[in-house]
Amino acid sequence: MTAGGEQNKVRPDRAALIQRTEEFVRGKLESEATGHDWWHVHRVRNNALMIARGEQVDTFIVELAALLHDIADWKFHGGDLSAGPRAAREWLESLGIEEEVIAHVCDIIAGVSFKGAGVETKMRTAEGRVVQDGDRLDAIGAIGIGRTFAYGGHSGRPMHDPEVRPVMHATFEQYKSSNGPTINHFFEKLLLIKDRLNTQTARKLAEERHAFMEQFLERFFAEWEGSA
């Protein structure tokens, strides 16, 4: 094909690519029951697009990465961080999306997850920071509480054991091998998120969600001790 022909080649409509990706992800995750289901992805996408309105970002990349960020979560693939980017790349290549976009989306997916209290998870690009904030907002507040207990039950973790103290994991290896009580996860991750968000929009939204978790824990511990 000539250079001119290459320039005139019709590219797939971005809206259609988003639609196909949404249908693909929904089909994969709709029956998932650990809090990493289609509706989690749906909320993260909405969060990320809302945050993106106040940032200078490519919303096509933001939306693709948000939709695909949990397509093969390391927690369900033996701790393999490459599973998600690999699955996302396979799907995006099947759509004929340009390599530059695929590489960017896969880079976001590889770095988006929380990996331990002592592990830095800074994102390279503005798009990555937006998606990461969208994902982390869904880990806190009322939804975050529900998701935490859903995953804890799925993993066979006790709800609470006052004799087991929270651990501030210094490495990803420590974090992914942790099997502490579900309540400890609030101290090991959820209560840390507010101060680790990237954007002003997300930080503002996190304030009320963070306060709600604190109120929940106060009530939980009061009931645990029989004083409420």
pLDDT reported for residue 3? 41
User: Are the C-beta atoms of residues 189 and 41 closer than 8 Å to each other?
Assistant: no
Q: 12-224: which CATH topology? A: Hypothetical protein af1432 (1.10.3210)
Q: Name the average pLDDT for the chain.
A: 91
Those residues whose C-beta lies under 8 Å from the C-beta of residue 184, and which sit 6 or more positions away, are 164, 165, 166, 167
| End-to-end Cα separation, the chain, in angstroms | 75
Sign, CA dihedral 184-188-33-134, equals positive
Per-residue pLDDT averaged across 14-31, rounded?
A: 94
- Tell me the backbone φ, ψ of residue 159, rounded to 5 degrees: -65, -45
Domain ranges of the chain: 12-224
What are the pLDDT digits (tens) for 151-171? 999 999 999 999 999 999 999
Per-residue pLDDT averaged across 185-199, rounded?
A: 97
Cα 209 to Cα 70, 73, 136, 191, 198: the distances in Å are 22, 24, 11, 10, 16
Reply yes or no on whether the pLDDT at 24 is more than 80. Answer: yes
